[in-house]
Structure 1
Amino acid sequence: MNPVPSLANLHFSDEERNTLYRIIASRRDMRHFIPNSTLDDATITRLLQAVHHAPSVGLMQPWRFRRIHDNTQREQIAALVMAERDATAEALGERATEFLRLKVEGIRDCAELWVASVAPDDGTVFGRRTMPEAMALCSVACAIQNLWLATRAENLGMGWVSMFEPTALAELLALPSGSKPIAILCIGQVEAFYPAPMLELEGWRQGGSLETVWIDGGGKLSV
């Protein structure tokens, strides 16, 4: 039996490195899923392990993921999203009609529906004394990104739905006091991944170039 390699000394090949960058570049916020599909327990376990390997400030690990089994609850969650969709359309004014043509969720068709929440504050001070809420939120976002990349590596789609009123969703799921849901996550098989971000394909918005977010004080690196 081969010994398990030490993670501290593990080096990755050029091929493995390039695969990671391909996964990052091909990740998409998916809205279209194959109905009536399922995920096996082994796949779900791998995804959860990816979630729990995420970094967190002060090792607080403030992420909590709720798996939605009940179809009635799916419908209730979908109703919350549709209510916020309508409110968003009203707030958009002249772009309302254009917005309402967009598909904003795959709640009814996805194989798995999870809700990601920020756990109640556990009193962690290390690393978050000046920004306690922000650092907890950022830590959960890291866990969600791990999940997103893991689903793509599994050739599964994932969509992050943010259109909901957090208090209403927390009450619906009877979350512990102090919890705050931040994401409804649709996960499952897809017929194809979008060749570019869906909002670009739909003409809603174009992503900026790398130059728009890169500030190089030395002015030496060309991107």
Structure 2
Amino acid sequence: MTAPAFSDDFRKDLERLFTWRRDARHFQRDPLPASVLNDLLHASTLAPSVGLSEPWRFVLVENPERKAAVRKSFETCNQEALQGYEGEQAASYATLKLAGLDDAPHHVAVFCETFPDQGHGLGRATMPETTTWSAVMAIHTFWLAATAAGVGLGWVSILEPEHVSDLLDAEPGWNLIAYLCIGYPAAHAKTPELERMGWETRNPDRREWIKR
């Protein structure tokens, strides 16, 4: 089998895709066509996984009561996080919009089955956390596919994982990795919102390579 050849134009588009992949927190409320969401979920399953374990478990959260309960968990955790800042930093934190839970038409919880039978444990003996990393790779694949389709994705991490797992009747052995807000973004931007809001800036040292 001959590997596909990717053109210079494709590689430039790929770099633009990386640049425009942003964490969305402002959404239009119109739902995605079912085919679009299904295609994005399918694309996520093309991600690499340790030992071909495919440990990711995607849960579409559609019940309004469950969505509201997740929203309450976010509010509680966000308020607790605010108490960890003081002065100007606290005031700045309070202005940040850290989730699109109210407007995003689709919510997807991503779990990792930490010790799946699939894969027979290959590659996990000394680094069992590789199943978690594999689930993160699936999220990243989903994110890139969404960006390419003009769809926004926001990763909500200010939650109580065990509580959300209970709310969603997660199977034993499933660990919550991400709660994703998905929909068409209200606006597009090349730079992270946290940078535009003055919360943080990129560190040029992180673009250097360390040699040993």
Same fold (TM over 0.5): yes
Q: Percent of counterpart pairs with the same letter?
A: 31
The number of residues matched between the two structures is 209
In the alignment, does 2:127 pair up with 1:131? yes
2:211 corresponding residue in structure 1: 217
In the alignment, does 2:148 pair up with 1:157? no
Query: Structure 2: which 5+ runs fail to align?
Result: none
In the alignment, does 2:106 pair up with 1:112? yes
1:66-114 Cα deviation digits (max 9, x unpaired): 0011122111111111111011111234422221110010112112110
Runs of 4+ with deviation above 6 angstroms: none
Query: Structure 1: which 5+ runs fail to align?
Result: 1-5, 219-223
Partner Cα distance (1:217, 1:184) in 2: 36
The answer on whether the counterparts of 1:120 and 1:176 sit within 8 Å (CA) in structure 2 is no
In the alignment, does 2:21 pair up with 1:27? yes
Partner Cα distance (2:10, 2:42) in 1: 19
The answer on whether the counterparts of 1:120 and 1:177 sit within 8 Å (CA) in structure 2 is no
Instruction: Tell me which moved more, 116-125 or 159-168.
Output: 116-125
1:36-61 Cα deviation digits (max 9, x unpaired): x1111221121012110000111111
RMSD value, Cα: 1.6
In the alignment, does 2:135 pair up with 1:140? yes
1:207 corresponding residue in structure 2: 202
Using structure 1 for the length normalisation, give the TM-score.
0.88
Partner Cα distance (2:28, 2:68) in 1: 18
1:8-157 aligned at under 5 Å gives the runs 8-35=2-29, 37-94=30-87, 95-123=89-117, 124-132=120-128, 134-157=129-152
Partner Cα distance (1:190, 1:142) in 2: 22
Using structure 2 for the length normalisation, give the TM-score.
0.93
Partner Cα distance (1:108, 1:206) in 2: 27
The answer on whether the counterparts of 1:170 and 1:180 sit within 8 Å (CA) in structure 2 is yes
Task: Provide closer, same or farther for how the CA distance between residues 198 and 10 of structure 1 changes in structure 2, counting only shifts above 3 A.
Answer: same
1:3 corresponding residue in structure 2: none
Task: State the 1:217 CA deviation.
Answer: 2.9
1:173 corresponding residue in structure 2: 168
SS at match of 2:84: helix
1:103-150 Cα deviation digits (max 9, x unpaired): 010112112110011114125421121121x21111011000001101
The answer on whether the counterparts of 2:114 and 2:132 sit within 8 Å (CA) in structure 1 is no
